[in-house]
Amino acid sequence: MSWVNTVLVAAQRLGVERDALLAAAGIASAELQAERWPIDHITRLWRAAAQLTGDPGFGLKAGTLVGPASFNVVSYLLQSAPTLRASISVVQKYQRLISDGGRLQMIAGAQSSWLVYHPRQGQLPFSPHQIEAVLAAMLAFARWVSGTALRPLKVQFSQAPIGTPGDYHGVFQCPVEFDQAFSGVLLDNALLDAPLPQADAQLAQVHQQYAAARLAALSPPETLVQDLRRWIGSQLHGQLPSRAKAAQALGLSPRTLARRMQAQQLDFSTLVDQARRDAALHAVAETRQALADIGQSLGFAEPSTFWRAFKRWTGQTPAQWRRQREATTVGAAIKPPDNP
């Protein structure tokens, strides 16, 4: 949820209130109480924030908001690490405590090393703002941990630019290249291996024990919820999936599945509702399928029932949602290019 809160704060600073942003993303405000979100939830939030703010530099601005308290126990581990290279190893080890949406790779060279970001998308392609935010956050963390105005040797993105040259230079203070083989930050080895001012081996050991326990506790429920979401999504073909069939598909007895879901505070009907919503938002926005047929394919007996559910999810009817997405697409297509 740290990334969720970062997006909400960045959007609010640009005049977009939380409830409006969540509604545009098709996410209920009650879901802010969850400990973690599915990757596609966060992708929709990024897309909605970029659309509502209209700011091509939104991802960069959001990434620079990352600070000492942004990533729970991992932040403390970073602070007590002996070097910046060691702190990056901490992030690699405990990445899942921050996000399931990507992983970091270090490519070491004789004089400098690449820190590469590999995104792990869900069903929806990441917003380019997400990638830019991650690289901006990498640098914000490095500057915070080192206590210096650290400058990379180079930054590159695997995507085309979406902001102005000034946006990128203001954040990275170095050459930035686009449409490259990967997205990453090139850092001097002298900076990576310099002693950090707040290194504390004893404190790091305490934080590492806690982080390891959190990571171990996280793995089983995440596996179950991912398995359930994957199975439910595959069953949305004109009928509602049942918990008994889910148990059978997962090789569990209905009682065992119920016990595990209760222990992990999972509700089967909520998971089904989320899967139907995700499928509905995609079908309404990305296809020309008749709205009534979309509802029927998702197990809604009557169009009116589908209409009510869609309005509960988004605050709009399916027709309004589709018109809004079409208008956004057309507006982006006819927008004149920026002057060089």
Would you tell me how many other CB atoms lie within 10 Å of the CB of residue 294? 21
pLDDT tens digits for 259-297? 888 888 889 999 999 989 988 988 888 888 899 999 998
Whole-number Å distance between alpha carbons of 25 and 97: 24
pLDDT at 340: 40
Supply the pLDDT for residue 49.
97
Contact assessment for residue 232 and residue 271, using Cβ atoms and an 8 Å cutoff: yes
CATH 3.10.450 for domain 2-199, yes or no, is no
Q: Count CB atoms within 10 A of the CB of residue 192.
A: 20
Long-range contacts of residues 315-322, Cβ cutoff 8 Å, at least 24 apart = 315/23, 318/280, 318/284, 318/291, 318/294, 319/291, 321/281, 321/284, 321/285, 322/284, 322/285, 322/291
Q: Would the pTM count as exceeding 0.75?
A: no
Residue 339, pLDDT score: 46
- The confidence score (pLDDT) of residue 312 equals 93
Q: Report whether 205 contacts 81 (CB < 8 A).
A: no
Which pLDDT does position 74 carry in this prediction? Answer: 75
**Which pLDDT belongs to residue 243?**
92
pLDDT for 308: 94
| Cβ-based burial of 257 (10 A; exposed 0-12, middle 13-18, buried ≥19) | buried
- What ranges do the domains of the chain cover? 2-199, 218-329
Domains 2-199 and 218-329 agree in fold: no
Fold (topology level) of 218-329: Arc Repressor Mutant, subunit A (1.10.10)
Extract the residue ranges of the chain whose pLDDT is less than 70: 67-73, 216-222, 328-340
Q: How far apart are CA 203 and CA 325, in angstroms?
A: 50
